[in-house]
Amino acid sequence: MKTFAFVFARGGSKGLPGKNIKPLAGKPLLAHAIEMAKASSVIDRVFVSTDDAGIAEVAQYHGAIVIERPDALATDTSPEWLCWRHAVNWVNEHYGAFDIFVSLPATSPIRRIGDVEASIEKIKSKDGDICISIAKTHRNPFFNVVKLREDGLVELMNTPDAIITRRQDAPQAFDIVTSFYTTTPDYILTQSGLFEGRVSHVEIPKSHAVDIDDIYDFKLAEIMMRETGCECAAKK
């Protein structure tokens, strides 16, 4: 079975300009994803889809194959799903058919190779159409997450069947972490969203649940990278 990894990295990031190639722990952010993919014995190739020449250069330097992304798929409102589809079609055309698609967002640089490989194994064994990474969260939609009502008051996001007085009594909630999304090319070409099919998961520790949107996330990632010993690629 052929497993290909993909990093989707556009140039025009608003929250933290230039974030995809901003150095984190001594290397450009996206290099962490590329190096992890290259270190995995079950990932055969790694591609970077980008509209940006600077990102393309860094990607190539670190050993990835660059997919030129059309500008129309690199705007603030372009759905990532369509970028996935474009990449699958491009790879089918240039490198032939493959079996497993793994997206490794550059913005989640702290990940263990074993967790990514566990997600690949799940999709290979048909445990879900798509496998995502999740981490336990203490924010709970039945307990302490609210939405605004039209009258300006707030109410719980989800109403529990009975009154809950301790968060621990609410169902455990999980954050979707952007560490990896693993599926098949066929699922991407025939469905139009993450949650249309059967979604399986790999639970990862909170210490690896970093998603860089702005400079504060970036600083947090630097601290967490030091804490986790930058061992993510090596630790199975």
Ligand X SMILES: CC(=O)N[C@H]1[C@H]([C@H](O)[C@H](O)CO)O[C@](O)(C(=O)O)C[C@@H]1O
Of residues 75-94, which lie at the interface with ligand X (CB under 6 A)?
Answer: 80-81
> With contact defined as beta carbons under 8 Å apart, do 120 and 111 qualify?
no
- Whether 175 contacts 137, CB under 8 Å: yes
Determine the Cα–Cα distance for residues 224 and 210; give it in Å rounded to an integer: 8
By the 8 A CB rule, do 7 and 106 touch? yes
State which residue, 76 or 151, has the beta carbon closest to ligand X.
76
Piece of 137-145, 173-181, 196-204, 227-235 that binds ligand X (CB under 6 A): 173-181
Q: How far is the CB of 231 from ligand X (least distance, A)?
A: 24
Cβ-based nearer residue to ligand X, 61 or 81: 81
Number of residues lying near ligand X (CB under 6 A): 6
Work out which of 194, 199, 224, 233 binds ligand X, going by CB under 6 A: 194
Q: What does the alpha-carbon distance between residue 209 and residue 110 come to, in Å, rounded to a whole number?
A: 7
Take residue 133 and report the two structure tokens written for it.
């990474």
Residue nearest to ligand X (CB): 80
Nearest approach in angstroms of CB 114 to ligand X is 21
Per CB under 6 A, the segment of 14-22, 147-155, 174-182, 220-228 that binds ligand X is 174-182
Residue 135 binds ligand X (CB under 6 A): no
Q: Which is nearer to ligand X, 152 or 193 (CB)?
A: 193
CB 202 within 8 Å of CB 122: yes
Residue listed under structure tokens 């601290």: 223
* Segment interacting with ligand X (CB under 6 A) among 26-34, 123-131, 161-169, 176-184: 176-184
* Site for ligand X contains 134 (CB under 6 A): no
Lookup result for tokens 């139009």: 192
Cα 185 to Cα 85: distance, rounded to the nearest angstrom = 8
**CB contact at 8 A, 7 and 1:** no
Residue 57 Cβ vs ligand X, minimum distance, rounded to whole Å: 23
Distances in Å between the alpha carbon of 51 and those of 15, 109, 221? Answer: 18, 21, 25
Phi, psi (deg, nearest 5) at residue 226? -65, -45
User: Would you say 64 or 106 has its CB closer to ligand X?
Assistant: 106
Instruction: Give the one residue of 176, 220, 230, 233 binding ligand X; rule: CB under 6 A.
Output: 176
Is residue 178 part of the contact set for ligand X (CB under 6 A)?
yes
Binding site for ligand X (CB under 6 A): 80-81, 176, 178, 181, 194
